Chain A
């Protein structure tokens, strides 16, 4: 009896797979080939001292790479010290750039959504920073944060009296970190805005009309209709933005290279340089995996508490 129901379930499963496989196959194969397999191989690499030279022996070194990450954390100049410094900068980036982008993006999206005319022009204008090539974008950031008197940022800030003298933004730890965060927020909030305006379109207008009949004001409608109605969108954004902040890379790679002495470095840049400048692929892979583990746990935590796909 039980066996029969099992075989029936099995047959049903096969039938369902036959239906879906034409749609699923190509994407899944490419995904396995270029994402899943490389990531698994990455785990293997982290236990070896891997070399990309053809014919090189990839010695198995056990946990040695991981041990390196956790020894002498407080000794200045050790590998662990620089890794955790970079890690700290990623955490700071999450705490600052994620709320920054979400709040700015949501506010602008709500503003634009409620306009009677001119919606598109604002969307287009605010999206320019998002679609801008990263290399171009970093050239611009580099330019406006030049140490001279006449650079855009120094000029404005000294003219309105916030600064007494020009600042060498990219040469000091905290100002350089500020520039890195500035990049993320400036380049990211337009994307958040676009996703939120798409989400806002999904909230039925009759809810607002019903609330208006009941005498709700704008602020109440924002908190009781808009925010809950955007829950799935916000979850999608949160996952992406946190992931983005953990993977901050290109602006550090192009603007500071982690200087001064690793204090503006982030994990991805650290990993990339250890891998491709010093060819320590094993160590780099283990650093990346530790980071991946942290991001993974964080995302699972979010998933549990925000529940994907349940809007109401």
Chain B
């Protein structure tokens, strides 16, 4: 019996390793290419591992050329603000829908859902006029407010289920102790939803870090540009300079991957609610 289980585990590991290799091979190829002098026609065999010694000039050129460092800092600022407002809006909204009773609740929720079904990019023209009216074009405050609005529907939908799954008994015992709605949210709902919140934060970080179209449309000046936008411009100018293109690309995704690995620890905390109400 035990032997059979071990075999099963081994088989699953082999399958998963295979899937990972297939999924990651192109990324390895990208990183390897970034350490080589590849320009114009590709070599006859795909680049999986770089030739030694590593050719690091691509990175030096990218990092010190143009305004790469400014773009990097801009991306950090815009992402941090975006994640903050996303978290604030989605937790408060989802709490309202999951734990309150008020007339028109389902109606409002259905409107939220309804807007999710409509292509988001289309609203850009009208969003531009709204931001323009608020004098927030070319201003990160405008981008943050916009993201606060656009995240509302999706993340409310996402969190509502998690919040509703939290047993009523827990909150009721807090109310009996005289806790307010806000205290219940801060000391009961949020701690118990950490895995869900961590998930949402990862998605928000990822989305805002790589956002292309919002930044492209709602900022004007070069010194407001972020990495994705800069990379897109670079790609247009140097189509076949794969070495340099991928050096820039690697720098762009590296922080994203590091952040994700850091968040992973919080992300895995599981079964919090399961342990909380055991008869």
A residues adjacent to B (C-beta < 8 A): 13, 16-17, 19-20, 22-24, 26-28, 30-39, 41-42, 45, 50, 52, 108, 111-112, 114-116, 118-120, 122-136, 139-141, 143-144, 146, 148-152, 155-156, 186, 190-191, 194-195, 198, 201-202, 204-205, 232, 236, 239-240, 243, 246-247, 249-250, 254, 267-268, 271-272, 275, 281, 284-285, 288-289, 291-292, 295-296, 299, 309
Contacts and interface: CB of A to CB of B under 8 A. Distances in A.
A148 B12 contact: no
B102 A144 contact: no
A16 B93 contact: no
Contact of B42 (A19, A108, A146): A146
A41 B122 CA distance: 11
A38 B261 CA distance: 37
Contact of A128 (B24, B46, B212): B24
B125 A126 contact: no
Contacts of B148: 26-27, 30, 34
B164 A309 contact: yes
B212 A250 contact: yes
B253 A288 contact: no
A25 to B, nearest CB: 8
Residue of A119, A134, A151 ringed by the most chain B CB atoms within 10 A:
A134
B242 A132 contact: no
B42 A126 contact: no
B204 to A, nearest CB: 11
Interface of B: 9, 12-13, 15-16, 19-20, 23-27, 29-30, 33, 41-46, 88-90, 92-93, 95-96, 100-103, 108, 111-130, 145-146, 148-150, 152-154, 156-158, 161, 164-165, 181-182, 185, 195-196, 199, 202-203, 206, 209-210, 212-213, 227-228, 231-232, 235, 242, 245-246, 249, 252-253, 256-257, 260-261, 264, 268, 270-271, 274
Contact of A136 (B123, B253, B264): B253
A30 B152 contact: yes
A137 B117 CA distance: 25
Contact of B29 (A144, A190, A201, A296): A144
B125 A281 contact: yes
Contacts of B245: 139
A228 B217 CA distance: 43
B24 A36 contact: no
A133 B228 contact: yes
